[in-house]
Amino acid sequence: MTHSNALFLQKPDVLDRQRTHLEELFDRYLPGMTRFFAGNPEDIPSGQAFELVITPPLDWLPEALKRIPRPNRIHLTSSGRDRLDALGLDLDGITVTTSAGVNATAIAEYVIGGILVQAKQFHQFRDQQHRRAWQRSWLTELAGTRLGIVGLGNIGTRLVTRAIPFGFAIRGCDIRQPELEGVEQIYDVTEVGELAAWCDILVLSVPLTPQTRGLIDAGVLGRMRPGSLLINVSRGPVVDESALIEALRSGIPAGAVLDVFEEEPLPQNHPFWTMPQVVITPHVAGTTQRYMENMFAIIAGESANGFPDAHQDPESKSRARG
C-alpha cells in the first residue's frame, strides 16, 4: 500500500534533533511520500488529509487529530499501545499499528547485561573502586543457571537466542504455547508461579494488559528460589511493587534489575533507591541508535504487505480506539 501524505508528530525539542535523520529515513524507506512534521497541534495544516500519522502517545495527540480528517492509519513509535489507550481516543475505522520488535534486540542485550552485572558483581566492584577497597568475593558461573522468561514475543525470543550460548536451562511462560528451540518447557500465563518456583532468574518481557497487570504478586514472588534474581523490562505495573519491596527485604528474591516502574520518573523517596540488592535504570533498556531506522523498516514492511498481523492490533479497526 502506498501513502501519499504522512504526518510525523513528536515533541518539538526531539523533532528538532531528529528532523534531518527523519528526512533521510523517509527518502530511504517511504520514497515519494509527502511528509509533514509537527511539534505541536498548531504546526499541523488544518484540514489537510493524511493517510498515515506516525506518532508517540503524546498528551496533545487528541487535539492534533481534531485538526485533520480521520487518517487511514496511525502508527505508534512505541512497541506497545497501552499509553495510547489511556488517551481515550475514538479510533473507529482507523488502523492502528505499533513498532513491536523495534527495540527487541536492544532489550534482550540489556537483560544479558543485567544478568552479567549481578553474576559477576560489576556494580559492587565499581563501588569498591570508588572507595579504593580491595575486597575479593566469589562470583557466579552462569552455565546451567535456570532462566525463566515470562513473555515469548519479540523480546523473549531474541533473549532465548542470546541466552543459549551461555548454557542456560531455559523455560518460558506465554499466553500462547510456541515451540522454541532451546526452551525446554513453556507454561501458560496462569502457571507463572510454577515457572517462578523453578528458575534462578525470572525475566519479565510481557506487554501491559488487563491479564498481566499485577501478574507478579506476593504469591508469585513467594515461590521464587533463594538467591534468585528478578529482571523487569516490560512495564512497571506488571509487578506489585509493594509486594516486591517486602519480598526483597525478606531476601527472596535476592536481587532485582528494574528498568520500568509503576511511576516514572521513580519518586525520590521510593525504597528502591536505597536497596543495595536492586539495580535501577531509568527506562532505557529499549534505547538504541538504530531505533528510528528499525521503526521505518517496520512501517515500510507493513505498507508493502497491507499491514501484516505481526504489528497490527487485531481490534484496531473494530471500534473506539483502545
* Active site members: 235, 264, 283
Terminal-to-terminal C-alpha distance of the chain: 24
Radius of gyration of the chain (CA): 22
Spatial neighbors of 71 by CB under 8 A, at least 6 apart, are 7, 49, 50, 51, 52, 53, 65, 94
Indicate the burial class of 245 (C-beta count within 10 angstroms; 0-12, 13-18, 19 or more).
Answer: middle
Q: What is the DSSP letter of 317?
A: T
Cβ distance 21 to 292 under 8 Å? yes
Burial 200-211 (b: 16+ CB within 10 A, else e): bbbbbbbbbeee
**Which pairs from 184-191 meet CB under 8 Å and 24+ separation?**
186/152, 189/150, 189/215
CA distances, 64 to each of 34, 46, 60, 70, 175 (Å)? 18, 9, 6, 11, 36
Nearest 5°: phi and psi at 156? -60, -40
Q: Cell numbers at residue 34, please?
A: 509527502
* Distance (Å, whole) CA 33 – CA 27: 8
Q: What is the 3-state secondary structure (H, E, C) of 116-150?
A: HHHHHCHHHHHHHHHHCCCCCCCCCCCCCCEEEEE
